Amino acid sequence: MIWHLLAVFIIGLCVGAFAFALRKLSRNKLPSWIIPVCAGIGMLSYLAYYDYNWFSLKRGQLPAESVITEQGRASNFFRPWSYVLPSVSSFVVLDGKVRETRQDGQRLVEYIRYEFINDYIERLESQPYVLNCTTGEQLQVPQNSKPATSKVEFVARDSILYKQLCH
C-alpha cells in the first residue's frame, strides 16, 4: 500500500515537472495552472491504469493449478472511471488442493475459497468450505473464533465451482 501511494506521488511529481519544463520552454506563455492540473491528471491516470491492470497482475501471481471461479466488478465514487467501464474489483480462486471423503454414500469435498478484494486497501479473505457433490449443497466450516452459524448454500451444477470440484 505504501509503495502504491509513493508511486502516485512520484508520477504526479514527474508529470508536474514535465509541465513546468514546457512552461519554461514556452517562456511562460503557458498558464501557471497547467502544472498542478497536469500533475493531477498524471496521478489519476496512474490510478486508473493500476485499477484496470490489478486483476491481470494478481492472476499472473497465482499458481498454475489455481482456478478463478468468480469475478466481481463494482463502481466506486473515488474511482470515477469505474462508472464508464467497471474494472474487476474482486475475484474468487480455488487453489486446486481439495480433500475428498465419502460419508453415507455421498461424496464430500473440502476446499478453501480465496477471495482477493481491491478496495481502498488490497486484502485476501479465505474461508474453508465443504461441498456435497451428490446434493449440490455447500457449508462454511467454522474457523477458530467464529461460532457455527452458517447456512447451507446450494451450488448450481453448471457452475465453474461445481464442475471443478465434482467433475
- d(CA 158, CA 116) in angstroms, rounded, equals 23
Helix axes 2-25, 34-61, angle to 10 degrees: 140
pLDDT of residue 47: 92
Question: Does the pLDDT at position 146 exceed 70?
Answer: no
Q: How confident is the model at residue 149 (pLDDT cuts 50, 70, 90)?
A: low
Q: What is the residue-averaged pLDDT of the chain? A: 90
User: Percent of the chain at pLDDT above 70?
Assistant: 96
Question: Does the pLDDT at position 1 exceed 80?
Answer: no
Residue ranges of domains in the chain, CATH in brackets:
1-61 (no CATH), 64-167 (2.40.128)
Question: Does the pLDDT at position 21 exceed 90?
Answer: yes
Q: How confident is the model at residue 19 (pLDDT cuts 50, 70, 90)?
A: very high
pLDDT in tens, 112-126: 999 999 987 889 999
- Which uninterrupted H or E stretch holds 46? helix 34-61
What are the backbone angles phi and psi of residue 29, rounded to the nearest 5°?
-80, -25
User: Percent of the chain at pLDDT above 90?
Assistant: 52
For range 3-25, the mean pLDDT: 95
For range 80-101, the mean pLDDT: 89
For range 103-118, the mean pLDDT: 90
